[in-house]
Structure 1
Amino acid sequence: MTTVTAVPAVGRPAHRDPNVLRWLGAYASSMVGDNVFYLALSWAAVRAGSPAEAGVVVSVSALPRAVLMLGGGVVADRFGPRRVVIGSDTVRCVAVLAVAALLFLAHPGLWPLAALALLFGAVDAVFVPAVGALPARITGTDQLTRVQGMRGLANRFASVVGAPLGGLGIALGGAATAFGLAGALIAISVPLLVSVRIRELPRRDAVEQTGVPEGTGGPGQAPSGAVAAEAVPAGPDAAATAAVPSAGTVPPVATVPLAPTAPDTLDAVTVPAAPDAVTVPAPASRPGRAAWHDLRAGLAYLRHHRVLGPLVLAIALGDLGFVAPLNIGLTLLADQRGWGASGMGWVLAGFGVGAGAVSMLLAVRGRLPRAGLVTGCACVAGAVAVGALGQAPALPVAVGIALLIGLLTGLSGALCGALLQTQGDPAYLGRVISVASLVSLGIAPLSMPFAAAAIGVWGVGPVYAVSAAVCGLGGVVVLAFPALRRAELPR
């Protein structure tokens, strides 16, 4: 069982906390390794098969990621995000190094590449929720916005450094060398993660794990609802939707633990309660319970949460509208405008600079007031900028618009991540983040072929306009739900 120790004293900024910096180093090293890996995979697949076969190998990892992502959230919550991230990086490292050795010794064709892509997708399904849930366990809630900014900087660093490193590896020794470099970078993250100290869950999460409410009311102590006789703990902003017995039904019961200090070893007994009593929350995740029950409890918790539910919907809409225009759409836009590959690179650079600037701002500042309102406004403004990019007549204009898109979407994305971290209970964060990541990593990429086909029929401008409208709906959702619109980040 993972040893739990307290993180450094509350009040230390995250960018000066050695514990957070060890986590950041591990995350950055793993992400750079990912970028090198995917470049090596593409290169090796193209050299071993036809372009169509290479495309299948590169994209095959999306399938297990989409199918298993929700289950990955359950695994992260059940076994702890730190343990899951360490295990995931270990598996990925061993698999990549094994394929590198195989390519050094022989020319096996496409089958090991396809198997590796499938394995990577399956491991990502548990890695992504665990990575998202880990920051809440290593620092205080008042530092989570700053951590999101630092994570954004790490992502920008990985995208800028990963491709040149992968190209260097391929130039020096082919795909095998590049795979070996990717495995070494992922391996660096493992000892750093082992040294990261995990803080104890906040009191509200301890309540959920034991099933014993601390009091009879107040934020975080009342259940938000029940699903199939399971009561789901509510977050601080969840609606109070405790079931009221109808005529002729059995009065509700309250659970009383036989031994509060050992909730995982003794079952609870039930005693009759007053007619207006509410059901005591069930544990957030226990090894003795079926994973399916944990998944249902997590989905119910998310559905009844007045902030997280609409926030995840807004994230899904934003990703659905954003992925295609900034990937396949940008390639076709550059081709139709005659900007070429270099022009597309400049547009992507503008986007990266904007997103990186926002990440730096949040990493230094640590908090923005009126986070919910700012998120909604940034989503709407970013959607307008996405639509404008499809109408850009010249490359300098497109680069300027891309810079604005990076600023606005980087701001809204970082704030959405910070709100997920601070509004959700850490005991449920793996499942919450798995739902939020399902669309962006599993479903949204599947929209790219349809977007490309639509651009071939109607042109770039109309497809960008429709994508912008979908993005804008995400901002409308944020502004339309009062609890989310008024959400604030901890001071």
Structure 2
Amino acid sequence: MATTLPGETPVTAGPAHRDGNVLRWVGAYTASMVGDQMYYIALSWAAVSAGTPAQAGLVMTASAVPRALLMLAGGVIADRFGPRRVVIVSDTVRCAAVLAVASLLFLTEPGLWPLAALAVVFGTVDAVFVPAVGALPARVTSRDQLARVQGMRGLAVRVAGVVGAPLGGLGVALGGAATAFALAGLLIAVSVPLLIGVRVRDLPPDDTPPATAAAKAPAGARAELRDGLRHIRRHRVLAPLVLAIALGDLGFVGPLNVGLTLLADERGWGATGMGWVLAGFGTGAGLASLLLVVRGRLPHAGYAVAGTILPGAAAMGYLAYAPGVVAAVGTALLVGLLVGLSGAVCGALLQTQSEPAYLGRVSSAASLVSLGLAPLSMPVAAAAIGAWGTGPVFVTSAVVCGLGGVVALCFPGLREAVLPG
């Protein structure tokens, strides 16, 4: 079958947090994400060392363009060849590319071009990797465990954020960017044997994409993409859900990244204060993921999406007016808890509502804004803050984010959706 590897066996159902198959997948994902964090630290350090700040900025954003342009096509590839195979190949390519640049930096000082090329390779591979990762949970566990798996995935992201950056900094301190790149590549490599050991369930016969020669032709790929977008557009839950996710991400990414830095500078919190605010957000998001792992089932998931997005957006708008660092940290913790919970629930709904054969394409559409387009909005957010200040921009972003909750309330299919458990 085109979507499975030889020797794959059926997946046995069981509680996700005690399922060795799920734990192997979570371990592989965690190793890959920690390696990603280390890679970004190494890339930024190497780019700043080799060029001007403006040139370093271009290198750091070079991955966003191919990721945005190719994300939807990546979803087609994930569905056609199977998410497990695609993730294994993606991590192998990323590992090889990072280790190649590490070797080059150990031997010589090549300048910015190899770093820019590495960023483009990462962005291109991410366009395939992200939809495949989004499609994989439904193939490694039973439907009633998908909410827990999304919570475990969220915890993996938080662990990577806490552990990856310090490890990357340690690598730079020990041996420069080359050492940090080498450690990142080796950590990404850890994910490959773990992924090989993960068993995936076959698709039901009616859900299996055609594996004919015609389907593998370019026209077939375009038809598969149109078919996937049609599946989303006609679905009473997926269509408003993807719209709600897009609005939430579009309103959230700018303030959390460049906006928070400028806010900390404006309010005199300094780097330490900004770090505490980020820690508050990360703690809240981690608690949200842990809550979903423990709870597992949400009988009113659609209402939970609206009930977390709307107050989370309001809290984000208030962050620009927090009277001090302590209040800002508490607000950020609340934002992380609410937005993290809404994101995990939205991810679980994507998994449970999509037909299995369409999950890669559904994941690519849902991820297009957050990982493809929203990062490109950060310079716009910075320019807007320069023109109007942090308060109006944070409030405007909160309104855009809150519209996702309004969408969840206005569409009955999404409003009444449930998560099995």
**TM-score under structure 1 length normalisation:** 0.83
Q: Tell me which residue corresponds to 2:81.
A: 79
Q: Tell me which residue corresponds to 2:97.
A: 95
Q: Tell me which residue corresponds to 2:208.
A: 209
Q: Tell me which residue corresponds to 2:67.
A: 65
Q: Tell me which residue corresponds to 1:190.
A: 192
Query: Matched residues in 1 for 2:33 and 2:16: separation?
Result: 20
Aligned counterpart for 2:11 among listed residues 7, 10, 32: 7
Q: Tell me which residue corresponds to 1:283.
A: none
Alignment of 1:43-442 (within 5 A): 43-201=45-203, 203=204, 206-209=205-208, 286-287=215-216, 290-442=220-372
**TM-score under structure 2 length normalisation:** 0.97
Amino acid at match of 1:102: L
Amino acid at match of 2:281: F
What's the secondary structure of 1:327's corresponding residue? helix
Query: Matched residues in 1 for 2:125 and 2:261: separation?
Result: 29
Higher relative contact order (CA 8 A, sep 6+): 2
Q: What is the root-mean-square deviation of aligned Cα atoms in Å?
A: 1.3
Deviation for aligned residue 1:368: 1.9
Deviation for aligned residue 1:209: 3.1
Q: Deviations over 1:327-363 (max 9, x none)?
A: 1110111111100000000100000111101111111
Give the 3 Å change call, closer, same or farther, for CA 320–475 of structure 1 in structure 2. Answer: same
Alignment of 1:466 with 2:396, yes or no, is yes
Amino acid at match of 2:10: A
What's the secondary structure of 1:326's corresponding residue? helix
Identity score, percent = 70
Q: Tell me which residue corresponds to 1:480.
A: 410
Amino acid at match of 2:134: G
Q: Deviations over 1:439-484 (max 9, x none)?
A: 0011111111111111111111111110010001010001100010
The answer for unaligned runs of 5 or more in structure 2 is none
Contact 2:207 2:355 in 1 (8 A): no
Query: Matched residues in 1 for 2:121 and 2:386: separation?
Result: 34
Deviation for aligned residue 1:320: 0.5
Deviation for aligned residue 1:135: 0.4
Deviation for aligned residue 1:265: 6.4
Query: Matched residues in 1 for 2:260 and 2:302: separation?
Result: 30
What's the secondary structure of 1:72's corresponding residue? helix
Aligned length: 416
What's the secondary structure of 1:109's corresponding residue? coil
Query: Matched residues in 2 for 1:445 and 1:121: separation?
Result: 12
Amino acid at match of 1:287: K
Amino acid at match of 1:59: T
Query: Matched residues in 2 for 1:418 and 1:295: separation?
Result: 22
Amino acid at match of 2:270: G
Q: Tell me which residue corresponds to 1:29.
A: 31
Amino acid at match of 1:336: E
Q: Computing the radius of gyration over CA atoms, which structure comes out larger, 1 or 2?
A: 1
Deviation for aligned residue 1:369: 2.0
Q: Tell me which residue corresponds to 1:443.
A: 373
Query: Matched residues in 2 for 1:266 and 1:432: separation?
Result: 24
Give the 3 Å change call, closer, same or farther, for CA 454–5 of structure 1 in structure 2. Answer: same
Query: Matched residues in 2 for 1:39 and 1:162: separation?
Result: 9
Give the 3 Å change call, closer, same or farther, for CA 461–266 of structure 1 in structure 2. Answer: closer
What's the secondary structure of 2:352's corresponding residue? helix
Deviation for aligned residue 1:426: 1.4
The answer for unaligned runs of 5 or more in structure 1 is 211-262, 268-285
Query: Matched residues in 1 for 2:174 and 2:187: separation?
Result: 17
Deviation for aligned residue 1:287: 3.5
